[in-house]
A and B are shown apart, each in its own frame.
Chain A
Amino acid sequence: MSSPDRDAPGRERWYESKRFRRFRRNPLAWAGVVILLFFAGLAVLAPALTADRLPRGCLRDLGLVRSEARTALRTPANPAFWRATFAPPASCYKIPRVSYSPVPKPPRAKYPLGIASGGYDIYYGIVWGARTSFYIGVLVVGIVLVIATVVGGLAGLFGGWLDNLLMRLVDVVYSIPGLVLAMVFASIFGRGLIKTMIAIALVAWPIYARMLRGNILQVKAQDYISAAHAVGAGHLRLFFKHILPNAIGPMIILASLDIGAIVITASTLAFLGLGADVGYADWGQMISFARSWISNPGGEPLKYWFVWFWPSMAIALFVLGWNLLGDAVRDALDPRSR
């Protein structure tokens, strides 16, 4: 059977669509894409970029010795390269410690971004921190989408008192400032990256649940739903085959573009000490350890600038990338905003 789409005259492909053209012509969109590609590059190539300084535990878990790590992790023919790139052991996320000195050391040849208080290699933290940030963003969005789909779906499908109850729950969660609530959840759950991510997701879902519910109600009112109902489609079939797929799109797009905001929340929590374990490559935590070296350490202001500058710059740029992209997509989807 030949695809009717391809033969139909005037049917435009997605890359020819007005929306995509509007997106493509927006220089800010491209700036966002470039920034995110840079961080994606850091994240994917992290093992290769840090092959000469991987912590001992990581090398052991990868089954490598230090002398051969450099070549092995930069040769795609070597299985260790693929293992390290796509399924690195957790020990690789630990920032290696050059020393145990509490005083930061300025950048030098082997440590181009300097050494933080406690002997942590800043370059390593920034590179692997990019991985952590993508990981946090993608996983939190995933959890948010699951919760929002269940809550918004139930509310939109059944309506009535259940809808009312769920939407009031949304109102309540929404009426407490998100960061404060996330802080409470995170401290109840305890320290750990996964626990923090669940805490953030528990705060971030309401707006998407409400959005999905609205879309479902909109789709439900369309003629083709009545038509499908009239031909005898059951409730569940109607919902899963006709309503949900047509209502869920905008929510998925907007939630994914929210990764910037999620990374802000995560880094703020980490800054306060609610996040990954100590020593984990996480930008927020790196800033929190830099705290006593910011304002006027030892009467020499800005002497230890590198301790807070690089991680804060990384967070700001990463979030900026997502926001530039998100803004451009929103503009493209909603012609009124241009």
Chain B
Amino acid sequence: MTTFIVRRLLQLPIVLLAISLLIFGMMQFLSPEQRAATYAKTEQQAKNLDLIIRQYNLDKGFVVQYTTWLKAVLRGDLGYSKQSHEPVLDTIRKKLPVSAELALYMFFPTLLFGVWMGTMAAIHRDRFVDQAVRVFAIVGWSLPTFVLAIWMLAVFYGYLKLFGIGRADDSIMVEFAKGTLKAYTGMITIDGILNGRWDVTYSALKRLVMPVATYTIVASAQIMRVLRSSMLDVLNSDYVRTARAKGLPERAVNLKHARRNAIIPVVTIAGLMFAFMLEGVFFIEIIFNIPGLGQWAVPAAIQLDFPAVIGIALLTGLVVSVANLAVDILYGIIDPRISFQ
């Protein structure tokens, strides 16, 4: 198993290299001036694009340009983001905890809700519960994240005034800015506890309700669908019939015998969901005004803030690859029949 993990880890840099090549290649559709503008750090530099073109070899061939860029990256210099007015790596370091916190709170409710719905649907196959769950799932799946987020915003924030937007109450954000509250992890719900201030955690959790609910409704459908169909397969198998025949209670058969084996495909989907979740996080951050990676990456991509775009692409590529690796390792733990080759 160790060799398997090591080999997969060795593949990682190759994937990242390929991602950077892909984005870099697409950037060649722009003129040298356009590309140079994306490197400019100040007003002054933006006027002297020739200098930048020469500095980054932007008028040379693709290979020269790419190696120039790659050398800088290997030195740990991902470039300067015009969008955030600071080096890309600094921005990522600052904003990653915000998005990671959001993603973690989104991931588990979605997974659990999906698994619960899938189980219910499979057990009550073709009856009312099954139909209701399937309709709910397909409606949720059909809503673009930003559309549901807007509906939530209009009803729960605008009309009912139940939940706020942003990360926490303004007074709390001011305390973080002043330093009376220390940002140990950058994740407010955890920092609140570390500072011994439950009101901070509560305020942050309350503001997570709308984003998490939005995402759960949109994304749990996939989990539900996969679990339902794999559970139906398992429920038809011989050993489930045997378990029933020897008089086990229905609940034990469903949850212990059937679901435990049906959950394996869900692990795959959960890994894929992790990748899909990044874009969910991005758009949810934009609409609910949460200053995470999305609020930086989306405008950056639109403005062609080239260093930021490659930085984001590499980061997401890394997250997706690691998620896939985690899925493969989890397989072995959940299902001992799978061996690592």
Contacts and interface: CB of A to CB of B under 8 A. Distances in A.
Nearest to A314: B147
Nearest to B302: A187
A320 B232 CA distance: 25
Interface stretch (B43-51, B107-115, B150-158): B150-158
Contacts of B144: 264, 267-268, 315-316, 319
Contacts of B278: 177, 180
A64 B165 CA distance: 50
A183 B302 CA distance: 7
The 8 closest A-B pairs by CB, nearest first: A301-B158, A320-B142, A179-B279, A319-B142, A301-B159, A183-B301, A177-B279, A172-B18
Contacts of A184: 23, 26, 301, 309, 313
A301 B312 CA distance: 36
Contact of A274 (B30, B150, B302): B302
Interface residues of B, number: 52
Contacts of A175: 15, 19, 275, 316-317, 320-321
Contacts of B146: 268, 271, 287
Given A327-B138, A336-B229, 14 more contacts: A171-B15, A175-B15, A175-B19, A176-B22, A176-B317, A179-B283, A180-B313, A188-B304, A268-B146, A294-B153, A294-B154, A301-B161, A319-B144, A324-B138
A117 interface: no
Contacts of A272: 298, 302
Tell me the interface secondary structure of chain B in the complex. helix
Contact of B298 (A169, A171, A183, A295): A183
Contacts of B15: 171-172, 175
A338 to B, nearest CB: 8
Given A183-B301, A188-B26, A177 B147 contact: no
Contacts of A322: 142
Contacts of B283: 179, 268
Interface in B292-331: 297-298, 301-304, 309, 312-313, 316-317, 320-321
A259 B15 CA distance: 29
B279 A180 contact: yes
Contacts of A28: 134-135, 138
- Interface size class of chain A, counting residues whose CB lies under 8 Å from the partner chain: 35 or more
Interface in A308-338: 308, 312, 315-316, 319-320, 322-324, 327, 336-338
Contact of B301 (A187, A287, A305): A187
Contact of B158 (A183, A264, A295): A295
A209 to B, nearest CB: 15
A260 interface: yes
B276 interface: yes
Interface string B224-245: 0000010011000000000000
A296 B162 CA distance: 13
B138 A337 contact: no
B151 A312 contact: yes
Given A176-B316, A177-B275, A183-B298, A301 B142 contact: no
Nearest to B276: A177
B5 interface: no
A168 interface: yes
Nearest to B313: A176
A295 B154 contact: yes
B313 A302 contact: no
A294 B147 CA distance: 11
B75 to A, nearest CB: 24
B298 A312 contact: no
B138 A294 contact: no
B313 A337 contact: no
B18 A260 contact: no
B142 A316 contact: yes
Contacts of B302: 183, 187, 272-274
B142 A323 contact: yes
B177 interface: no
B318 to A, nearest CB: 9
A319 B321 CA distance: 30
Contacts of A273: 302
A118 interface: no
A189 B316 CA distance: 22
Nearest to A305: B154
A119 interface: no
B143 interface: yes
Contact of B142 (A173, A181, A260): A260
B72 interface: no
A141 B65 CA distance: 34
A305 B158 CA distance: 11
Nearest to B154: A294
6 contacts: A176-B313, A178-B279, A187-B304, A312-B147, A320-B138, A337-B229
B128 interface: no
Given A177-B275, A295-B157, A312-B151, A323 B282 contact: no
Contacts of A296: 157-158
Contacts of A320: 138-139, 142
B258 to A, nearest CB: 16
Interface string B60-75: 0000000000000000
A169 B22 CA distance: 9
A32 B150 CA distance: 24
A185 interface: yes
A247 B138 CA distance: 29
A188 B150 contact: no
B104 interface: no
Max count, chain A CB within 10 A of own CB: residue among B135, B275, B279, B304: B279
Contacts of B301: 180, 183-184, 187
Nearest to A260: B142
A316 B147 contact: yes
A114 to B, nearest CB: 15
Max count, chain A CB within 10 A of own CB: residue among B150, B304, B317: B150
A189 B29 CA distance: 8
Contacts of B155: 302
